Chain A
Amino acid sequence: MATLTLNNVKKSFGKTDVIHGVSIDVQDGEFIVIVGPSGCGKSTLLRMVAGLETITDGEVQIGGRRVNEEEPMARDIAMVFQNYALYPHMSVFDNMAYGLKIAKVPRSEIEERVAQAAKLLQLEPYLQRKPRELSGGQRQRVAMGRAIVRKPAVFLFDEPLSNLDAKLRVQMRLEIRALQRELGVTALYVTHDQVEAMTMADRMIVMNGGIADQIGKPLEVYANPATEFVAGFIGSPPTNFMTGALLGRSAETKIGVRPEHITISDADRLKARVTYCEALGAETLVHLMVADGSKITVRQDASLPLPEEGTEVGLTWADADEMNFDATGKRI
């Protein structure tokens, strides 16, 4: 258990900069999710903390100690990989015990720690099996177990749930979070799934093209996105963007309104044509098209009347729900 500090961390491969300087102070026991689309540098950032990638510039501190030059082992971290990376020829027990064996932990303590982790993860019946004899969810647990037995200062997760089916993913999401709380270990978790980010994070880092666009609590980020990218990336369906010109304002600005904040009414700010309605049961998504060709999605309660496809309707929203962005995408 320890704090984790990134101080203007940068990474370049040759002349290409992939991480443009990320800084964050992670508190002891905090769960931080790094979220962003593929290629935004989130995995690279995690691997730099792990020690699997060199750090071009800046500093990584674990527990207040600079670890830039240290091997992964010496950094006191444990990592869960996307494809689990279990050793195929070793039993579940040996997979979990391998790191401890290398660290020359006494045999009795290894057995005790593995037994503890196995109990916690409900892996006790499988300790003698090989990874190929396990299901995806069980392999995932073994990967977690391998991380837990090390009793590391920081857990690192690299998209650990992306190989599981949707139902298992939701379940493991809760389990990982519960486990991390119980153990009280600082965690850094990479995902491209904004739902995982919203539900698991104490704070999240939204990455865009190697830049941390915003760092904050999930609901704060959702309510107050710092950039146009964040507003568009966090939330599903994404925020609707309209040009200033469309609403009779400065052409430089862009206005974003979340789908749930728009209502279909006669007291209209904007006219739009209904293209398609998706009734999801509890709510309905209404897709519309504005005169200039931009698309708008409205999320409304299922109890409200469905507009007919092809008709023109009025749209309105409260001033307070508007988010204004300048030409560079920054929030005004």
Chain B
Amino acid sequence: MAEHTGMVEKRGAGLWLTHLGLIIGVAFIFFPIWLAFVASTVSQPEIVRPPMPLWPGDQFFENYSKALTAGVNAPVALMLGNSLFMALGIAIGKIAISLLSAFAIVYFKFPGKKLFFWLIFLTLMLPVEVRIVPTYEVIANFGMLNSYQGLILPLIASATATFLFRQFFMTVPDELAEAARVDGAGPMRFFFDILLPMSRTNIAALFVILFIYGWNQYLWPLLITTDPDMNTIVMGIKQMFPSGDDIADWPVIMATSILAMVPPVIVVVGMQKLFIRGLVESEK
């Protein structure tokens, strides 16, 4: 018995150490976020005066309601709405387009099939920044500056998602498509009734990734939206910084930062189960 308790104690100590290590790690990473939160609940003079406060103050409601309704250049509620619309548009659009293009590439024979696949694949190697000047030119000529179309359309094609769906579709047995054909399902019926439900977990995983990708867009919205009403939140934070001798309204800026983090967190937490399933297994 004595040996047993010894074993347990030893393991117990190891467990404690492991947890201690993890907690320190989390605290380390979480600390700046905590500071931002604290800063969003105190008043401007309290922030400016050293030392910096480490515990939340009593200005929570004042700061957040000011941020949401008035902001600095534009109300944060509006920027949140813009960001949400853009992120959803990009995520849903990317998924819809890449599902269809992967479907075409895997299930249909057409001339230039290989060529098209490689062309799509090639665009993987060109990030937004590389093609940003010509893209701007095109969008400006279409008159899409300061519009949702302008925010969403240039980012809507996704080689990565197309490639992922292609890989998934290729693991679906051919017999399923044949069985559907024998059952009398046309190609689109097969797509909607069988392929789409089977890709459910993959779609969820991609949605999370693409939503955050869309949400975090910075450079592109910064370039094409000059009207404060079209600002998205991630670039909006930067716009709040004062130029010249103006005083920065730090509590409001910090409240905005915290607000900007909330939607991605909700998406990740809400879709966690599907998201992880989609990454580790493919349901067949």
Contact = CB atoms under 8 A, between A and B. Distances in A.
Contacts of A89: 194, 197-198, 200, 283
Given A87-B194, A88-B283, A89-B197, A52 B176 contact: no
B284 to A, nearest CB: 6
Q: Is the interface of A mostly helix, strand, loop or mixed?
A: loop
A263 interface: no
B282 to A, nearest CB: 10
A190 B268 CA distance: 50
B184 interface: yes
Nearest to B178: A52
Contacts, number: 61
A73 B181 contact: yes
Interface in B184-212: 184-185, 189, 193-194, 197-198, 200
Given A81-B178, A82-B175, A98 B283 contact: no
Interface in A244-280: none
Interface in A32-72: 50-52, 71-72
B181 A85 contact: no
A110 interface: no
B183 A102 contact: yes
| Interface-central residue, A73, A77, A86, A146, by most chain B CB under 10 Å | A73
Interface string A12-30: 0000000000000000000
A78 B193 contact: no
Contacts of A73: 181-184
B198 A72 contact: no
Interface in A156-176: none
A85 B283 contact: no
A83 B194 contact: no
Contacts of A146: 179, 183
B182 A88 contact: no
Contacts of A87: 176, 179-180, 193-194
B51 interface: no
A82 B178 CA distance: 12
Interface in A91-149: 98-99, 102-103, 146
B32 interface: no
Contacts of A102: 183-185, 189
Given A98-B193, A102-B189, A85 B184 contact: no
Contact of B173 (A71, A85, A98, A103): A85
A136 B19 CA distance: 45
A50 B182 contact: yes
B19 to A, nearest CB: 37
Interface pairs A-B: 8 shortest CB-CB: A73-B184, A99-B183, A85-B175, A85-B179, A89-B197, A102-B184, A72-B182, A81-B175
Given A72-B181, A87-B176, A99-B184, 14 more contacts: A50-B182, A52-B178, A72-B182, A73-B183, A77-B182, A81-B175, A82-B175, A83-B175, A84-B175, A85-B173, A86-B179, A87-B179, A87-B194, A88-B283
29 contacts: A50-B178, A50-B182, A51-B181, A52-B178, A72-B181, A72-B182, A73-B181, A73-B182, A73-B183, A78-B182, A79-B178, A79-B182, A81-B175, A81-B178, A82-B175, A83-B175, A85-B173, A85-B176, A85-B178, A85-B179, A87-B179, A87-B180, A87-B193, A89-B194, A89-B198, A98-B180, A99-B182, A146-B179, A146-B183
